[in-house]
Amino acid sequence: VTVVPEEKEDAKSADGEEEFPEITEEMEKEIKSVFRGGNQDEILSEAFRLTITRKDIQTLNNLNWLNDEIINFYMNLLMERSKEKGLPAVHAFNTFFFTKLKTAGYQAVKRWTKKVDIFSVDLLLVPIHLGVHWCLAVVDFRKKTITYYDSMGGINTGKCGSFGNDIWICVLCLQEIPQQMNGSDCGMFACKYADCITKDKPINFTQQHMPYFRKRMAWEILHRKLL
């Protein structure tokens, strides 16, 4: 059985790229095997000085909430892809950055960019955890905007302002984006917003694509490469 979102089976972008590559039967078997029970501490993937255990990967199964490890690993995959010719240069902060910035201020996080010149990239990705909800902020140095992506439609000027005071001038909070229809997929939406944005592609998925995206992300993390 190949798994492809029903309405997007033949969807391709304008440049011919497959937007929803199929999950083959072989891939499906591998994904099911890691979603099944086993040693929860078994390391299934390592890269970017990060390790993903079976317990981590199982947060992608069904309606589980994604954890920090999965989101951080995926953000690193997006950064790795951004090195390809023709794509915007990307840096992603980890999931702990915004909380630290919000609670302790710029001085507490200024060393987090010691090894990277953030002003040399096109896009900064900032995953934001609001206790029980994941959102995404994107600093676009090309457009001089800070855009806040919330899959539950929140207009959070406070979150944008946290960046506007220290990093950039223009603040834009965006509402007209795909919205989640349950209480579990906010992490997936944040990751897939980032996926589209870092390819300079329209955000054209819906809630119905989430089961497919969860399986796809599991495979991508296991193989340390994006489809």
pLDDT at residue number 132: 87
Question: Which tokens in the block code for residue 170?
Answer: 């223009």
151 pLDDT higher than 50:
yes
Query: Of the listed 68, 133, 173, 196, which one is catalytic?
Result: 133
Question: Which tokens in the block code for residue 216?
Answer: 């796809």
pLDDT at residue number 176: 78
Query: Of the listed 56, 150, 185, 195, which one is catalytic?
Result: 150
User: What does pTM read for this prediction?
Assistant: 0.85
Give CA separation, 113 vs 82, 93, 103, 209, 222, in Å.
18, 9, 18, 34, 28
Query: Of the listed 135, 160, 186, 191, which one is catalytic?
Result: 186
- Average pLDDT (54-82) is 97
Which of 11-20, 33-42, 119-128, 173-182 has the least mean pLDDT?
A: 11-20
What's the rounded Cα separation, in Å, for the pair 97 and 79? Answer: 16
pLDDT at residue number 174: 64
18 pLDDT higher than 80:
no
Higher pLDDT, 214 or 14: 214
- Average pLDDT (76-105) is 88
167 pLDDT higher than 60:
no
Higher pLDDT, 59 or 102: 59
Q: Is residue 150 annotated as a catalytic residue, yes or no? A: yes
Q: Is residue 91 annotated as a catalytic residue, yes or no? A: no
pLDDT at residue number 171: 55
156 pLDDT higher than 70:
no
Sorting pLDDT into bands at 50, 70 and 90, what band is 12? low
pLDDT at residue number 196: 96
Q: Is residue 186 annotated as a catalytic residue, yes or no? A: yes
Question: Which tokens in the block code for residue 39?
Answer: 């040693």
